[in-house]
Structure 1
Amino acid sequence: MSSVHAQQLESINRHLLDIKGKIDVSFEFFPPNTEQMETTLWQSVERLAPLDPKFISVTYGAGASTRDRTHDVIKKIQQQTSLSTAAHLTCIDATEQDLINIAKDYWEHGVKHIVALRGDTDPNQPQQLNQPPLYASELVSLLKSVADFEISVAAYPEVHPEARSAQADLLNLKRKVDAGATRAITQFFFDVDSFLRFRDRCAAANIDAEIVPGILPVTNINTVTRFAGLTNVSVPAWLTDSFEGLDNDATSRNLLGANIAMDMVKVLSKEGVSDFHFYTLNRSELTYAICHLLGKRPQQTTASSPI
């Protein structure tokens, strides 16, 4: 290791002491499909709850069964813990009245933060219920017409796969913010510079909303590569090479995944990022370790209500 690199690393590590107690985190989960997955979910929520996240969100997809599972999980967390919850809501496979009814139901149950998304279209079902489909900016406006929700939206440092151009994608984000969104959570990424360049472009476009990096700790490179292919995320060669030969070595994969995510977070925090959104995949171990490194640790005087 060169002396310059060693000095840079030492500077970043010292910075972690400076930011202790000044970082906010949020966690994303998905609704479980099986009894075993439900057990894993609640174990993860219990493990991460003492870290006092800003909020936790639960994903949402098209179809009544997925919607119902999301509603059930969100309401249970809202009712049985002290955590602040954010419900994902998509436009796909729902009419405007459906969306209004869902929003009212959430508000009545104390869920006042929505992650507003257009949602992914299903190529096998081209005829969606709402034709023409709403866009996320329109969903933000609709939600604001129902109640004064806190609204987060999605952002894409490497450009949404359906966007005509990077500039068009940026303008779409501005429309969502102008409609009332207060936070943009990014798609996961592995190129820190791409996030920093995107943040600069948002500032230049007068996008007045917090840009929160989405962090995905990698434990299975094949799964991540599949996700990345669907979302226009670059998977660098060094990342793929790092996991080569570890298919049957879960322990090493976890250690490597935690180390990679920690390095990203260190650099981002040094660049002034104070909020991080973790895609947990309903597992808590790596996210907990990274938060510990950031100084986001359980407080003896506060505890979440039992689930």
Structure 2
Amino acid sequence: MKISDLMHTTDRFLSLEFFPPKGQTEWPSFFKQVNQLAGLNPLFVSVTYGAGGKTQDNTLEIASSVHEQFGLTTMSHLTCVGAEKKGLAEYIDKLLDAGIENILALRGDMPSAGAPDVWTDFSYASDLVQFVKKRWPEVCVGTACYPDAHPESSSIEEDLEWTRHKLSTGSDFAITQLFFDVRRYQDLVLRLRALQINTPIIPGVLPVLSMQSLNRILALCGANIPLKLYLELQTAYETGGDKAVRAKGVEIARGQIKELLALGAPGIHLYTLNNADICLEILTDLPMLDG
């Protein structure tokens, strides 16, 4: 089932993101997490994809298993890093053979030891979108966008232009990178609508589980966090360690979800961190996700 079709059947939904475990010995535990969250009836789930396709086989097998075993509409991530047309075409054909017709097209991050030639046949996510849509027009293709602007963009205006271009090449929807200020999401959507871009923009919500993980994430993706929220998390850490940070992180994520749905977001894409307990804690008693 195509995500773009499913989105027309509801005015608000939940979607979930998983990452493939590194080793197959971890797969039983992973599928246990998926099973716990399948009961939330997500509109779709996505499975991430390593830079340069390092976890490509795992992504394919995990995505296929999630689709077959749990009956969940599944989306596979694809990145441009090290991707060649022939290999990517073979991978997409395998996805379709497995009944998966949804792809999230990403440029991907430069590997830490990578050289400029990691961009072979595809340099930008928009190249990937055009390639997929031309050869497999039946495939639903999503892309990413950045409420806080991509860290490599020189300005918010430049980032908005790249986002506009990417969505204009055939993207069926976009999922945002994590953010903590709901106003950034609202501003991004309003700016895109002013440019006559009406593609659905799904906000991505990532729970904070520790100060260490928060600081690492902020450094990697260039997201900003309001000083008030950061101080609340820091105070929680100083008084109760990471256990208190997790509780505050759940509170912040729940608040984000409520605000985003009140603003008219089409749904919520929750970065699960492969942790069913934290997701269930965040989503408890949020009836606005039932519709």
- Report what 1:50 is aligned to: 39
Query: Percent of aligned positions with the same letter in both sequences?
Result: 32
Q: Which of 187, 203, 208 pairs up with 2:193?
A: 203
How big is the shift at 1:212?
0.8
Structure 1, gaps ≥5 residues long:
1-20, 299-307
Instruction: Provide the TM-score with structure 2 as the length reference.
Output: 0.88
CA change 1:227–1:139 in 2 (3 A) is same
How big is the shift at 1:170?
1.5
Instruction: Provide the TM-score with structure 1 as the length reference.
Output: 0.84
Residue identity opposite 2:251 in structure 1:
N
- Report what 1:290 is aligned to: 282
- Report what 1:137 is aligned to: 126
Greater alpha carbon shift after TM alignment, 198-207 vs 231-240: 231-240
Answer yes or no: is the 8 Å Cα contact 2:14–2:289 preserved in 1. Answer: no
Greater alpha carbon shift after TM alignment, 227-236 vs 119-128: 119-128
Answer yes or no: is the 8 Å Cα contact 1:91–1:117 preserved in 2. Answer: yes
Q: Are residue 176 (structure 1) and residue 176 (structure 2) matched?
A: no
Q: Which of 218, 228, 233 pairs up with 2:208?
A: 218
- Report what 1:96 is aligned to: 85
How big is the shift at 1:37?
4.2
Separation of aligned partners in 1, 2:119 and 2:245: 43
CA change 1:69–1:56 in 2 (3 A) is same
The residue matched to 1:89 in structure 2 has which SS?
strand
How big is the shift at 1:27?
0.4
Q: Which of 101, 109, 114 pairs up with 1:125?
A: 114
CA change 1:22–1:198 in 2 (3 A) is closer
Answer yes or no: is the 8 Å Cα contact 2:107–2:123 preserved in 1. Answer: yes
Answer yes or no: is the 8 Å Cα contact 1:103–1:146 preserved in 2. Answer: no
- Report what 1:80 is aligned to: 69
Q: Are residue 266 (structure 1) and residue 258 (structure 2) matched?
A: yes
Answer yes or no: is the 8 Å Cα contact 1:161–1:232 preserved in 2. Answer: yes
Answer yes or no: is the 8 Å Cα contact 2:211–2:242 preserved in 1. Answer: no
How big is the shift at 1:279?
0.6
User: 1:231-270, CA deviations, whole angstroms, 9 ceiling, x for partnerless residues?
Assistant: 1101333333223363774543332111111111111122
Separation of aligned partners in 2, 1:289 and 1:49: 15
How big is the shift at 1:122?
2.1
The residue matched to 1:97 in structure 2 has which SS?
helix
User: 1:140-196, CA deviations, whole angstroms, 9 ceiling, x for partnerless residues?
Assistant: 111112321111100001100112322222122222222211111001111111111
Residue identity opposite 2:90 in structure 1:
N
Separation of aligned partners in 2, 1:48 and 1:40: 13
- Report what 1:38 is aligned to: 27
Identify the structure with bigger relative contact order (alpha carbons < 8 Å, sequence gap 6+): 1
Separation of aligned partners in 1, 2:287 and 2:30: 24
Q: Which of 7, 10, 18 pairs up with 1:29?
A: 18
Separation of aligned partners in 1, 2:289 and 2:39: 7
* RMSD between superposed Cα atoms in Å: 2.3
Answer yes or no: is the 8 Å Cα contact 1:25–1:53 preserved in 2. Answer: yes
Larger Rg: 1
Residue identity opposite 2:249 in structure 1:
G
User: 1:102-128, CA deviations, whole angstroms, 9 ceiling, x for partnerless residues?
Assistant: 111111211100000011112422143
The residue matched to 1:153 in structure 2 has which SS?
strand
User: 1:195-252, CA deviations, whole angstroms, 9 ceiling, x for partnerless residues?
Assistant: 1111111111111211111001111121122111111101333333223363774543
CA change 1:166–1:72 in 2 (3 A) is same
Answer yes or no: is the 8 Å Cα contact 2:140–2:172 preserved in 1. Answer: yes
Answer yes or no: is the 8 Å Cα contact 2:84–2:121 preserved in 1. Answer: no
Answer yes or no: is the 8 Å Cα contact 1:225–1:235 preserved in 2. Answer: no
The residue matched to 2:123 in structure 1 has which SS?
coil
Separation of aligned partners in 2, 1:161 and 1:211: 19
Answer yes or no: is the 8 Å Cα contact 1:26–1:55 preserved in 2. Answer: yes
Q: Are residue 243 (structure 1) and residue 233 (structure 2) matched?
A: yes
